[in-house]
């Protein structure tokens, strides 16, 4: 196990930012850490990196609760991006390597290798202040790779990148994984999780609300039964296990049903009542819907 959290809690005064969160990351996995703004992702990652102490619970990195020791084997991209604006790209990458104990000459060599490998060699001698935001972000990411970390913890690595650079970053994460790295990254978009992750962990108001694969999330998502009709379908309540009808607008109604209700019997009941059925079936769900349902981000989606 590369990372294990057990009942981790963080309180700031009376406010609980992270509440009893448990999850683990195994070697070679890519795990997405999802949640809305303020859900507690950054706070959790900071506790893993020993930047913040836990209020309760236990964290172990590489099987040890000595996080200071473990974090030397981690490449951490913090949420707040900060690079020395006057420093050259190659020197920036080498500098972060030296901070992790890589000797000067080796750090510079590694920095050049990384720039070449990720198609950034033309920027090697550019000062950070002359780079685009996306390229500066890529330099910061490369700077956490100099010491060849076994485990990458990336806090919102996609934010601020345009779609082309987001794709490049996804490719980079994929290639690092192929080389055996383990990755935990936070994001508030489900799409990145879908394309990249083996599993994801979702937090809401500091609490874990889901842990599993995208397919498991789809299965866990209860899809509503939707009837589209120009008529008033309320006469269906009490028939074939229908317990309620909720108007959704534009002639669409969500039907609440008792456990085990048979959808074909509901359709037959609707037709028997003379209701004009324009559409009938389980709602389609997108990853976006799943995110909103799990993260509880929208009244409409959680209704
Ligand atoms: N040092 C602090 N003191 C008080 N409250 C804090 C502190 N740090 C974070 N919080 C609060 O804890 C909650 C969780 O914040 P956190 O930054 O972990 O969320 P997040 O999921 O990373 O959000 P985002 O996607 O916006 O970065 C927020 O309500 C935040 O205001």
What's the Cα-to-Cα distance from 119 to each of 122, 123, 130, 282, rounded to whole Å?
8, 9, 17, 46
Give pLDDT tens digits for 209-235.
999 998 888 877 778 899 999 999 999
Q: Mean of the per-residue pLDDT values for the chain?
A: 89
This model's pTM is above 0.90: no
106-152 pLDDT per residue, tens? 999 999 999 998 888 999 999 999 998 888 888 988 999 988 899 99
Alpha-carbon distance 163 to 171, whole Å?
A: 12
Among 8, 42, 156, 204, which is best to mutate for testing ligand 1, by the most ligand atoms less than 8 A from CB? 42
Query: Which residue has the least CA distance to atom 16 on ligand 1?
Result: 40
Q: Whose CA is nearest to atom 11 of ligand 1?
A: 17
How far, in Å, is the centroid of ligand 1 from the Cα of 133? Answer: 24
Q: What b-and-e string marks burial along 49-70, b requiring 16 or more CB atoms within 10 Å of the CB?
A: bbebebeebebbbbeeeebeeb
Secondary-structure percent of the chain, ordered helix, strand, coil, rounded to 5: 40, 30, 35
Query: How far is the C-alpha of 130 from the C-alpha of 292, rounded, in Å?
Result: 38
Rounded distance between C-alpha atoms, residue 150 and residue 186, angstroms: 18
Please check whether residue 4 is in contact with residue 24, taking contact to mean a CB–CB distance below 8 angstroms: yes
> Looking at this predicted complex, what is its ipTM?
0.94
Torsion of CA 165, 169, 175, 178, to 10 degrees: -150
Which domains are assigned to the chain? 3-218 (3.40.50.300), 222-284 (3.30.70.980)
Instruction: Identify the residue whose C-alpha is closest to ligand 1 atom 17.
Output: 42
Contacts of 57 (CB under 8 A, 6+ apart): 5, 6, 7, 8, 9, 20, 21, 22
In the structure, which protein residues have their CB atom closer than 6 angstroms to any atom of ligand 1? 12, 15, 17, 35, 37-43, 79, 188
pLDDT band at 297 (very low <50, low <70, confident <90, very high): low
Whose C-alpha lies nearest to ligand 1, atom 4? Answer: 12
Half-sphere exposure in the Cβ direction for 179 (13 Å, CA):
12
* 196 closest CA partner among 179, 213, 216: 213
Q: CA quadruple 3, 58, 6, 190: dihedral positive or negative? A: negative
Question: Two tokens at 282?
Answer: 């389980």
Distance 12 CA to ligand 1 centre (A): 10
**pLDDT tens-digit profile of 152-161?**
999 999 887 8
Q: How far apart are CA 202 and CA 41, in angstroms?
A: 9
């Amino acid at each position: 196990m590369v990372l294990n959290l057990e009942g981790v809690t963080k309180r700031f005064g009376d406010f609980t930012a992270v509440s009893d969160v448990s999850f683990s990351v195994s070697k070679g996995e890519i795990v997405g850490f999802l949640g809305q703004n303020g859900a507690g992702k950054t706070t959790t990652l900071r506790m893993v990196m020993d930047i913040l102490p836990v209020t309760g619970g236990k964290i172990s990195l590489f099987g040890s609760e000595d996080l200071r020791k473990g974090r030397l084997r981690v490449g951490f991209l913090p949420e707040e991006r900060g690079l020395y604006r006057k420093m050259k790209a190659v020197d920036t990458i080498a500098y972060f390597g030296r901070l992790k104990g890589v000797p000067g000459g080796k750090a510079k060599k590694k920095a050049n290798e990384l720039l070449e490998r990720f198609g950034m060699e033309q920027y090697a001698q550019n000062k950070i202040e002359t780079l685009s935001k996306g390229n500066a972000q890529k330099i910061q990411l490369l700077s956490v790779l100099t010491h060849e970390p076994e485990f990458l913890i990336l806090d919102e690595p996609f934010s601020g990148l345009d779609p082309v650079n987001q794709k490049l970053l996804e490719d980079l994460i994929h290639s690092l994984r192929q080389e055996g790295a383990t990755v935990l990254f936070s994001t508030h978009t489900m799409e990145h999780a879908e394309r990249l992750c083996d599993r994801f962990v979702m937090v809401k108001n500091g609490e874990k609300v889901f842990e599993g694969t995208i397919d498991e999330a789809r299965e866990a998502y209860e899809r509503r039964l939707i009837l589209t009709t120009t008529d008033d379908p309320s006469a269906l309540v009490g028939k074939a296990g229908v317990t309620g009808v909720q108007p959704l607008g534009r002639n669409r109604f969500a039907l609440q049903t008792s456990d085990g209700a048979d959808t074909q019997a509901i359709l037959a009941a609707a037709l028997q009542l003379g209701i004009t059925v324009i559409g009938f079936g389980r709602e389609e769900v997108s990853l976006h819907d799943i995110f909103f349902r799990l993260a509880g981000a929208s009244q409409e989606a959680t209704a």
